[in-house]
Amino acid sequence: MKTIFQDKPVEYPEKRPDGRPLKSILDVLLERRATSHFKPDPVPEQHLNAILKFAAQAPSGYNLQPWRFIVVREKANRERLQKAAYNQEKVAEAPVVIIAFALKDDWKNHIDDIFLEGVRRGYGKPEMVPGLKKMASDFLEHGISQPVWVNRHTMIAVTTMMLVAEAYGLDTAPMEGFDPQALGREFGLPENAEVIALLAIGYGESPDKVYGGRLALTEFVHDEHYGHPWNHEPDNPIPAIGEEIERHILEPVPA
Amino acid sequence: MKTIFQDKPVEYPEKRPDGRPLKSILDVLLERRATSHFKPDPVPEQHLNAILKFAAQAPSGYNLQPWRFIVVREKANRERLQKAAYNQEKVAEAPVVIIAFALKDDWKNHIDDIFLEGVRRGYGKPEMVPGLKKMASDFLEHGISQPVWVNRHTMIAVTTMMLVAEAYGLDTAPMEGFDPQALGREFGLPENAEVIALLAIGYGESPDKVYGGRLALTEFVHDEHYGHPWNHEPDNPIPAIGEEIERHILEPVPA
């Protein structure tokens, strides 16, 4: 068994780099914007380490943790990354850009170590491991496509990373605009790599990008069954239909 | 234009249902476990609404928000869902289970409304919309597969929802063990639906599932280039190789 494991984070900054307290997760979600331009100010090493260690605490199917990251901080490398990301300026501006990727079928190289580590920590009994492994392998080989599975899981860790960075008072920009082949060549990714997202982290140049609005709950949440719009929001009654909706939509938004 | 939009949440509980303050995101990540069994206690309606509204604040490519949810609370429906989820007990036990899905190619039905809503709120100029739409459409039709794209984005909202629920002191269980066909039949999903995850929300029955450990940063984080393990963690020096690693791995873990 060669894989090295870590425990939950023990030492990590409990405040923002400027000493202010962490943002609450609700404030993070109210204030987070996809940052278009970054200042050159660096992200403190201890905060970056904490962001990575907390990202690792994300859940995954069978604890297989398929997410992999490349942390890009060197200027020359950020410029190479920018070229592989349709020349987006924020990629070269941000002091840290993380390439989130996964290796398809790489779970086969880690499943034994991960399951044995679980048993060692008291999760189940050794005699359960073969059955658990068969169940996981059947699902991963026949129940789902690898590109779907690695995207699904890697985004749990990427989202976690983004929200922790924001709670530390940093700004972020998640991106899916890149050329995966070019990026793979520049950063030495193996053939079975699936590049999933970029996440720039740093300090944004104001002003923030305008908030584009979100679909109402009635548009994307169904109540008990598909086709029954969610309508349990006491403080936000939904207009009936037709003209009333048109009027609601077209009324001016305060600047 | 028929789509209804919402703004950022304005009214939402700022505390847990029992009146205690929100958990910090770091405590959420340290304490969150995939819950195996739930108590029957209900999730307060106002907290559930807030969880959904904050999930909607997740970012997505071109703000297209492909995530869709079915909120299942009725006992009979949770039992039907349990049958479509390999009979996992937690599905029928939890007071709320959310089916996260997406409709492939459904972005075509919303892109105009979403882009016009953005313009109405001051994001870009009306004359930019056709070019932006062409860029988005080219990517979504030719640059990526729909199953990958909808999984990638829906998990940003699911992860957000899970972390907000945990910050409210609730327990959660994300699941990918379900039969998508059976689930689609039971809940009336259309043909182009991609079922992505289930998220049970409620109050867990103790004890928590044992923490199975996580891969060390050196295992999944690369420094500047693939194949150069991240080794910037001052408080966690990495053993050299070989026997020393074996010893590190095999030392007993405190109970």
Distance between CA atoms of residues A37 and B189, nearest Å: 41
**Residue in A25, A54, A224 closest to B72 by CB:** A224
Is cis: bond before B21, omega within 30 of 0? no
- A13-40, pLDDT tens digit by residue? 999 999 999 999 999 999 999 999 999 9
| Domain ranges within chain A, ordered by starting residue | 25-202, 217-250
CATH number for A25-202: choose from 3.30.70.260, 3.20.20.20, 3.90.320.10, 3.40.109.10: 3.40.109.10
**Residue in B5, B61, B151 closest to A216 by CB:** B5
What confidence score (pLDDT) does residue B234 get? 61
> Cβ of A167 and B26 within 8 Å?
yes
DSSP per-residue letters across B132-197: HHHHHHHIIIIIS-HHHHHHHHHHHHHHHHHHHHHHTT-EEEEE--S-HHHHHHHHT--TTEEEEE
Coil vs helix vs strand at B241: coil
Which structure tokens are listed for B62?
């071109």
What confidence score (pLDDT) does residue A234 get? 61
CB A156 within 8 A of CB A163: no
- A139-180, pLDDT tens digit by residue? 999 999 999 999 999 999 999 999 999 999 999 999 999 999
Provide, as residue numbers in chain B, all residues whose Cβ is less than 8 Å from the Cβ of A5.
213-216, 219, 249
**Closest chain A residue to B175, measured at CA:** A61
Q: List chain B residues with pLDDT less than 50.
A: 237-255
What confidence score (pLDDT) does residue A255 get? 39
Helix (H) or strand (E) holding B128: none
- A120-145, pLDDT tens digit by residue? 999 888 999 999 999 999 999 999 99
Provide, as residue numbers in chain B, all residues whose Cβ is less than 8 Å from the Cβ of A122.
210, 253, 255
Return mean pLDDT, chain A: 92
Distance between CA atoms of residues A90 and A76, nearest Å: 14
- B3-34, pLDDT tens digit by residue? 999 999 999 999 999 999 999 999 999 999 99
What confidence score (pLDDT) does residue B159 get? 98
Q: What is the pTM of this model?
A: 0.93
What confidence score (pLDDT) does residue B255 get? 39
Assess whether pLDDT exceeds 90 at residue A251. Answer: no
Assess whether pLDDT exceeds 60 at residue A250. Answer: no
